[in-house]
């Protein structure tokens, strides 16, 4: 059996300070950053999804950020294929692969493998997506909650792509996503150390409010207006993200800016809470304070020496 490829995974809730921590690790271990966040893949929303800026991406190589169109979709299987290629490319460049983000599904897939869900007929997906377009994500999320409460609790009620996927799989196989994910996984070629940014929700909440203000100052509203020129369908995958969905309502006149910001903060806080709940259940994560670079470096050094 070939030796597994070492990767470093830096995770935590939105706004916790992963970017600064990643720069420290890249400088210390000659690393390259690979995106581990399902929202930071969208091309039209670099500010709203808090993608690394052009200046930040000059610090070290970055991969898998801002490449997907608003109307396009990416699931965990496609992400695994792209991340695997990016990891190999990063190693070929002589760099340590550093996976950074807040999507727990992606972390689990990389280090534990994928659920062996059979390929389902496209008609099930088409029906779910047509229903989503007609009814909206919140009612569909309620349907999923009745069928698979554990999985529904892990995803946002605006996450139309994952809601449709979970419902389509259940209707096609008779088994829930939670059931499939509890079955033996496909093997993964990677071994990783998992570092988590250790913040509480109370510590994070005021930072999230300031972060939204900074995003607006940086041009988030203008970014959303420009994206609307290319795609005005609120059911598109890119528009379903937190910040994007709320700004869509503002720029189309459905709510005031103050209401938009209040809802954006509420939804961001709720998302951060779900992320913390997910990651706290992962007993493999080593928790470190946002600026405790000494501990981060020590744990990565120990991992690489194994």
- Binding site membership for ATP: which residues? 12-19
Binding-site residues, in ranges, read 12-19
The three-state secondary structure class of 70 is: coil
**The dihedral sign for the CA sequence 174, 179, 181, 182:** negative
Binding-site residues for substrate, in ranges, read 14-19
Compute the distance between CA of residue 41 and CA of residue 60 in angstroms, rounded to an integer: 18
Read off the DSSP letter of residue 3. P
Do 172 and 147 contact (CB within 8 A), yes or no? no
Assign residue 64 a region: left if phi > 0, alpha if psi is -120 to 50, beta otherwise? Answer: left
| Phi, psi values for residue 68, rounded to 5° | -100, 135
Centre a 10 Å sphere on the Cβ of residue 14 and count the other Cβ atoms it contains.
22
| Phi, psi values for residue 237, rounded to 5° | -55, -45
């Amino acid at each position: 059996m070939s030796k597994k490829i070492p990767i470093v995974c830096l995770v935590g809730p939105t706004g916790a300070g992963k970017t600064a921590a990643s720069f420290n690790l890249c400088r210390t271990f000659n690393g390259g950053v690979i995106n581990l966040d399902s929202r930071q893949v969208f091309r039209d929303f670099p500010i709203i999804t808090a993608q690394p800026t052009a200046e930040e991406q000059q610090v070290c190589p970055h991969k898998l950020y801002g490449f997907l169109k608003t109307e396009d979709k990416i699931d965990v299987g496609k992400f695994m294929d792209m991340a695997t290629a990016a990891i190999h490319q990063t190693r070929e460049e002589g760099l340590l692969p550093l996976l950074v983000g807040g999507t727990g599904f992606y972390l689990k897939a990389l280090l534990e493998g994928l659920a062996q869900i059979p390929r389902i007929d496209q008609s099930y997906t088409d029906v779910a997506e047509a229903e989503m377009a007609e009814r909206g994500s919140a009612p569909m999320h309620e349907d999923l909650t009745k069928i698979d409460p554990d999985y529904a609790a892990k995803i946002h009620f605006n996450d139309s792509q994952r809601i449709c996927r979970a419902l389509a799989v259940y209707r096609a196989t008779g088994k829930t996503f939670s059931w499939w994910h509890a079955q033996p996984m496909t093997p993964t070629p990677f071994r990783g150390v998992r570092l988590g940014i250790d913040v509480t929700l109370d510590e994070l909440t005021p930072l999230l409010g300031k972060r939204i203000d900074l995003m607006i100052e940086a041009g988030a509203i203008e970014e959303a207006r420009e994206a609307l020129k290319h795609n005005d369908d609120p059911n598109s995958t890119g528009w379903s993200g937190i910040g994007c969905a709320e700004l869509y309502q503002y720029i189309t006149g459905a709510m005031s800016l103050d209401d938009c910001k209040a809802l954006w903060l509420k939804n961001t806080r709720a998302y951060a809470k779900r992320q913390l709940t997910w990651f706290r259940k992962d007993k493999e994560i080593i928790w470190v304070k946002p600026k405790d670079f000494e501990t981060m470096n020590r744990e990565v050094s120990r991992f690489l020496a194994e």
